[in-house]
Structure 1
Amino acid sequence: MTAAPATAAHPGPGPAIDGRAGFGNVISSEWLKIRTVRSTFWTLVTLFAGSAVITLLICLAAADSYAKDLAAGKPDSADIVLVGLAFVGQIAAYVLGVMTISAEYSTGGIRTTLTAMPRRTEILVAKAILLAVMVFVIGLATAFLCFYLGNIPLRAKHVNVNLSYPGATRAIFGSALYLAGLSLFGLAMGFLLRHTAGAITIGLALIFIIGNLVQLIPGSVGRWLFKVMPGNAGGQVTAFGETDRHADKAFAPWTGFTVFLIEVVVLLIVGALLFERRDA
């Protein structure tokens, strides 16, 4: 008896598969990358713990002179209770923004990212959303912690700063918003320069050095440049006191922050255009 020859199966076409990933998938992918990179964890730890420790140490050292200045009728500097955010927090937020994209260029991971998701603008938008939300949440928690820790030595001298102090609530929430804005500023610089050290150096120089040096330019040009520099414009929202406290030298808090956001958005748009045109 001869066995019937086996007939090879020829499977027909399967169900159509839609290979287009939605924006939700892009968000999920970018969130996985951001939260699993060690540099993200350590940078956020630096932002949170470093800002808190610096604030406590400076307030401990300055509590006595702060109390004497108030007793002598000198203008107070309630900003001292958030001083750690003005240094460690701002640097950490900016560096995190840069590294969110520059690390992919330095490791070559950007090629894998673009292979999986060729719609480049969506990648930039997803990174920006996740970064801003994450830094705002951590920044707000850090601002409240700094406010509490900074007040411990000030309370011992009976010169503590309450939430009812003019501009206190704005300064706390404004600090978190400014940190989120700085992280987006760093992200934009990372997309523009694609080099970690270069983006960090240029950005921090603009915020902390050039922003102060431009006021040496005589006349209205120097005053205008001083107002619109990113650190000067955006940082006004983190200051305590009345909204017109530095009206002669800088924008009012929310006006300055709006100018800062416009600058960040413009840089992100330019970064997106270059990201679309340049090779990985």
Structure 2
Amino acid sequence: MTRFAIPLAVLCSEWIKLRTARSTYVALIAAFVLGLGTGLLDVLSITGHWATMSAADRADFDPVGDPLSGFQLGELALGALGVLAVSTEYATGMIRSTLIATPRRAVVYTAKALTLGLLALLASQLCAFAAFFLGQLVLRRQHLNVSVTAPHVLRAITFAGLYMAVVTMVGFGLGALIRHTAGAMAAMFALVFLTYPAARAFEGASYLPDHLTLADAATALVTIAPPTGPHAQRIPSFGFACFDLALYLVVFLGLGAARALRDA
């Protein structure tokens, strides 16, 4: 029973740390404001200009992707939460107290990851579904709305939330690896956004770098129709986008764990 009591105590301790930190609430509020607000502005613009929009612009309209367009900004707030959930303890030196109370570093790292991961998954799914339903209320004015039971719609919403949760855990892994809040934040931003233009530089030789970026994976996950246009090859298949999420999760949590287990 002792072996089970210790992990449970550590989980409770990590949850208390997470829910009592002001940065947790700031990040969650920012994620919801950016996620819902950007998507709402997007669909308000579409419905307001629908009558004068060109045929090409109408063809590009996505009744699911457009309401969810804000999640690629909301992910930054959640990624920052992931960084802060671990880097703050190293920056303040409180990690030493944590390791004195629980010398098993693997237990501490796992407890932090599980606690943050469950919170991030819940928050990101709530944000994704709220953005979708709010967007549909606006789109209904022009009869552009779509039902959640329509083909691929529920999948797109769910994976938009899952994507944000994965970015949170990537931030967590970077925070554990770099242990410096500003440095980890910069690395997380570069990984999410700056890899996109970098991958485009290799398009003459291969589209594989595009398929491995989080930005293009996000597009594949939240759209319900196959990509069209001259640059459609940039977007990976849905299956490859799922592989991207698993790859980023394993790599960055693994790197963070390797550093966390090595020293304090």
Q: TM-score, normalised by structure 2?
A: 0.88
Aligned residue type for 2:21: V
The answer as to 2:234 corresponding to 1:249 is yes
Shift of 1:235: 5.0
Are 1:60 and 2:44 matched, yes or no?
yes
State how far apart, in whole Å, the 2-side matches of 1:276 and 1:244 are. Answer: 46
Secondary structure of the corresponding residue to residue 181 of structure 1: helix
Cross-structure match for 1:123: 108
Q: Distance in 1 between matches of 2:46 and 2:246?
A: 33
Aligned residues: 260
**Does structure 2 conserve the Cα–Cα contact (< 8 Å) formed by 1:236 and 1:254?**
no
Q: Which residue of 2 aligns with 1:84?
A: 70
- Mapping for residues 212-227 of structure 1, pairs under 5 Å: 212-221=197-206, 223-227=207-211
1:40 aligns with 2:24: yes
Provide the C-alpha distance between the structure 2 equivalents of 1:45 and 1:252, rounded to a whole number of angstroms. 32
Contact 2:227/2:235 (CA < 8 Å) preserved in 1? no
User: What RMSD, in angstroms, separates the aligned Cα atoms of the two structures?
Assistant: 2.5
3-state DSSP class of the match of 2:68? helix
Q: Indicate yes or no: 2:87 matched with 1:98.
A: no
Describe how 1:71-220 pairs up with structure 2 within 5 A: 74-78=59-63, 79-87=65-73, 89-220=74-205
Shift of 1:75: 3.3
Per-residue deviation, 1:64: 3.0
SS at match of 2:137: helix
Specify every segment of 5 or more residues in structure 2 that has no aligned partner in the other structure, as ranges.
Answer: none
Residues 53-103 of structure 1: per-residue CA shift (max 9 Å, x gap) = 22222221232334655867623223111112121x111111111110011
Amino acid at match of 2:192: I
Structure with higher RCO (Cα < 8 A, 6+ apart): 2
Q: Percent of counterpart pairs with the same letter? A: 32
- In structure 2, what is the Cα distance between the partners aligned to 1:26 and 1:185? 22
Q: 1:74 to 1:235 in 2, by over 3 A?
A: closer
> What is the CA-CA distance between 1:212 and the residue it aligns to?
2.8
Deviations 1:31-67 (A, max 9, x none): 1111111101111111123322222222212323346
Any gaps of 5 or more consecutive residues in structure 1? 1-17
Please report how far the alpha carbon of residue 29 of structure 1 lies from its aligned counterpart in structure 2 after TM superposition: 1.0
Asked if structure 2 preserves the Cα contact closer than 8 Å seen for 1:167 and 1:243, the reply is: no
- Residues 244 and 252 of structure 1 are in contact (CA less than 8 Å); yes or no, is this contact kept in structure 2? no
Report the Cα offset of residue 28 of structure 1: 1.1
Contact between 2:62 and 2:223, CA under 8 Å: does it hold in 1? no
The amino acid of 2:100's aligned partner reads: T
Bigger-Rg structure (1/2): 1
Is contact 1:139-1:179 (8 Å) kept?
Answer: yes
SS of 1:22's equivalent in the other structure is helix
Cα distance in 2 for partners of 1:131, 1:239 equals 27
Which residue in 2 is equivalent to 1:269? 254
Give the counterpart letter for 2:157 in structure 1.
I
* Distance in 2 (alpha carbons) for counterparts of 1:253 and 1:118: 42
Task: Give the stretch that moved more between structures: 251-260 or 95-104.
Answer: 251-260
